[in-house]
Structure 1
Amino acid sequence: MVQNTERRTALVDAAIEVLARDGARGLTFRAVDVEAGVPKGTASNYFANRADLLNQVGAHIHQRMTLDPGQYDLERPPSPELLTDVMRALFHHISDDRTGWLALLELRLEAIRRPELQGALTETLRTNLNANIEGRRESGIPGDDTTTVLLYYAMTGVILEHLTVPEVLARFDVDELIAAFVNRSLAES
C-alpha cells in the first residue's frame, strides 16, 4: 500500500464526506477518488479493501472529533462549572463537524452488518469512553465513573438529535440542557 500520509488523510476525509452524504452503500473507491479530486484508482492504492477503508475512517473520525484542550481553560480548579464548560465545548466542536458525526452514525449502522467493523468500532468507542472516565479521574473534576458514563450518553443523544432532527430541540437552549445534565448527574454521585 502507498504510504503518502497526507494523501491517505485526504482520502479518508473524502471517504467521511461520502459516507455522511451517501451512506455506506455509496462509499466506493471511485466515489472517494471523485470526492478527493484524485485520479481514478488512487483510493484502491491506499486501502487494501473496503473494510480497510471503513476501519481507517472510524479511527480518523474520532481524531477529528477529539476536543482540543486549548478550547477551554484547564488551569481552573476542578469544578462543576469547568465540567459544564468542557461539555459545552465538546458539543459545539462536534456540531461544527456535522459530517464527521453523520459518518460515524453510518459506520455504526454498517457495523451491524459487518462483524469485523463492529469489533473495531466497539474497541474505538470503548477506548474513547474509558479515556473520558480516566480523564475525569485525573482532572479531579467532581463526579464518579457513572457520572462520566451518564454524561457521555446524554451528550450522544443531544448531539444525535441536534445534527439529525434539530427542530426537536429548537425550543431548548442546548447550553442550558448541558448544564442541567452536569448538575443533575453530579447531584446523584
Structure 2
Amino acid sequence: MVRRNPGRRAALLDAAIEVLADEGARGLTFRAVDQQAGVPVGTASNYFSSRGDILKGAGERVYERLADDDVIADGLQGPRDRARVTELMHALVDRVAAFPTGFLALLELRLEAVRRPELRDVLTHRIRADLDFNVAHHEKSGLPGDGTMVVLLWLALNWLIVERLTLPELFTDEQRHDLVTALVDRLLTGQPPKSG
C-alpha cells in the first residue's frame, strides 16, 4: 500500500535526486533512496510502486524545488530594459547552478528518458510547461525581447549551466558572466554591443 505522507514522499524524492546526481540513473534503487534519506529499508517501496515511479517523481520534484515565487515576482519589478534582462539571466544561471544535484539529476533523467517513454512523456510535459510559463511570464513583464528570444536564452543558458557543473574549469566565472551578457546583448540587438 502506498503511503500518503507528502513530507516523507518529498524527502524520498529529494534523496532520489541526490542519488541520481551522485550515482547516475543506474544507481537509483529503492535501497539507495532509503539509505540517502536515512529511513528504514523498505520505506521507498511503501511510497513508490516501481523504480519508474521514483524517476518520474524526481523529475517533477526538481522543478518544484527550482520554482521560487519571490524570484518570479521580482522579475516583474524594476526597469524594462536590456540591463534588467541581463541581470535576470545572471540570477537565473546562479540560482540553477546553486542546486547542482538537481540539475545533474535532471540530466540523468533526460538520458534515462531515451529508454523510458513514460519518463520521456513526464519530462516533456513538465519542461514544456516550464518553457511556456517562462515565455508567457516574459511577455507579461514588458521586458524587451519576444518568445523566441526566451527559448534561445533557455537553450543556450541550459548548456552553459551544463558546462559550469560538469567541466567547471572550461570557463572562468568572469568568462561565464561575459558570455551571459553577450548572449542577451546579441539576442536583443542582433549584433555585438558597441564598446566605449
Give the TM bin, normalised by the shorter chain: over 0.9
> Partner of 1:20 in structure 2?
21
Shift of 1:25: 0.7
Query: What 5-or-longer segments of structure 2 have no aligned partner?
Result: 192-196
C-alpha distance in structure 2 between counterparts of 1:25 and 1:185, whole Å:
39
> Partner of 1:103 in structure 2?
105
Of 145, 153, 165 in structure 1, the residue corresponding to residue 147 of structure 2 is: 145
Does structure 2 conserve the Cα–Cα contact (< 8 Å) formed by 1:67 and 1:90? no
Does structure 2 conserve the Cα–Cα contact (< 8 Å) formed by 1:11 and 1:33? yes
The aligned amino acid for 2:27 is G
Alignment of 1:146-165 (within 5 A): 146-165=148-167
> Partner of 1:169 in structure 2?
171
Shift of 1:168: 1.2
Relative to structure 1, the CA distance from residue 47 to residue 171 in structure 2 (aligned partners, 3 Å threshold; closer, same or farther) is closer
Q: TM-score, normalised by structure 2?
A: 0.91
Shift of 1:77: 2.5
Shift of 1:14: 0.3
Query: What 5-or-longer segments of structure 1 have no aligned partner?
Result: none
Question: How many residues align structurally?
Answer: 189
The aligned amino acid for 2:98 is D
Deviation per residue, 1:111-162 (Å, 9 max, x gap): 0010110111111111111111111110011011111111011101100100
Matched, 1:81 2:83: yes
> Partner of 1:65 in structure 2?
66
Alignment of 1:126-145 (within 5 A): 126-145=128-147
> Partner of 2:194 in structure 1?
none
Q: TM-score, normalised by structure 1?
A: 0.94
C-alpha distance in structure 2 between counterparts of 1:159 and 1:69, whole Å:
22
Does structure 1 conserve the Cα–Cα contact (< 8 Å) formed by 2:75 and 2:141? no
The aligned amino acid for 1:62 is Y
Q: Percent identity?
A: 48
